Amino acid sequence: MALLTDAAWMARALALAERGRGRTAPNPLVGAVVVSPGGVVVGQGAHLVAGGPHAEVVALDAAGEHGRGATLYCTLEPCCHVGRTGPCVERIAAAGVRRVVTAMQDPNPHVDGRGHAWLRAHGVAVDTGVGGLEAARQNAPFLTWIRANRPWTVLKTVTSADGFVGRRGERTKLSSPVADRWMQRQRAWIDALVVGAQTLIVDDPVLTARGPVRARPLTRVIVDWRGRTPPGARVWSTLSAGPVIMVVLDSTVQADPARFEAMRARGIHLDLQSSRDLGVVARGLASAGVQSVLLEGGPSLQQAWLDAGLVDHLQWLMASAELGEGVPMAAGVRRWCAGMPDESRQPLGDDWLIEGPWESVEGRQP
């Protein structure tokens, strides 16, 4: 019987890494598999929570003495520094692992190739790049956070079949129950939701994750330069689900300091900005540990986020109903969707989901 290939073992490690989805930030998702020289899995594991044992340690603990002479498959370069836990490279060498195969180098400045170099210097063979594309997709939030100093951002829009996000001035339900459940699952792992003031005024959403279990607080960000969100908005009453941040111009606060001081007293965080620079807003979120953002609306804010070059992935949920008139979807999203192939569509109940990376349609960007 032929032994499985490195790619097959790495696919298993990538699947294990998904067990930590939504729970490991600010750490990346990592999975590991220990395979004996005879091709038998003797240990496996995943990093499940920040501060908990790393995937390599979990897998090696399960392998015990069977780790000697084995190959360790890991979705990310093992760490070589002391953080909340000790360096994984030392644990790997002490276990007698003969070879380490990784999907990609860890861009964290504390690692960044040093883990691979340490292992080689201590007699452990290292191969990297197996399953690298899949690993990069899996850890897109972490990689964007580290490399670009901003959150990885998903722009999601829900429209009627004729391209309207809703009727003007009134809350409009468009998505099917199946699509609603899909959207709530996404909210269960994302770090933060971002909406504009008009969405708060018209829809009055609570912006919480409902249905799937969420392991961490959910940050909600309201971009409201002029402070228009009413004091009775339902989102202000959901602080137990996670922090609520209002991004507002400093000049707006200075014009009515008593109102905003009352908001602070209720536990609402004010992110004061001197200008409407969304890049500054994104970098501020990254500094606060936010690695992933779901930009839910409305179309004006979505277009501004696109224009600022801050979007990484787009999702268009198209309902079956037509409105005939209303608030049109963001022009940049419409152009992007027009260029997506038919195979990018998938059904969600009565609706259709079209999604893909923003970079896949270069040249159609506004």
pLDDT in tens, 191-224: 999 999 999 999 999 999 988 788 899 999 999 9
In 3D, which of 307, 245, 248 has the Cα closest to residue 274?
248
Does 143-361 match 6-138 at the fold level?
no
Buried b (16+ CB within 10 A) or exposed e, 285-324: bbeeebbbbbbbbbbebbbbbbebebbbbbbbbbbebebe
Residues with a known catalytic role: 56
Give the fold, CATH level 3, of 143-361. Dihydrofolate Reductase, subunit A (3.40.430)
**What percent of the chain lies above the pLDDT cut of 70?**
96
pLDDT value for 189: 93
Secondary structure class of 193 (helix, strand, coil): strand
Q: What are the sequence ranges of the domains in the chain?
A: 6-138, 143-361
| Residues of the chain by 3-state class (helix, strand, coil), percent to 5 | 35, 20, 40
Q: Is 101 exposed, middle or buried (0-12, 13-18, 19+ CB in 10 A)?
A: buried
Bridge-based pairing state of the strands 125-128 and 99-102: parallel
Q: Identify the weakest region by mean pLDDT among 74-88, 152-166, 230-244, 349-363.
A: 349-363
Secondary structure class of 351 (helix, strand, coil): strand
- Inter-residue contact 69 to 36 (CB < 8 Å): yes
- At the top level of CATH, the class of 6-138 is alpha beta
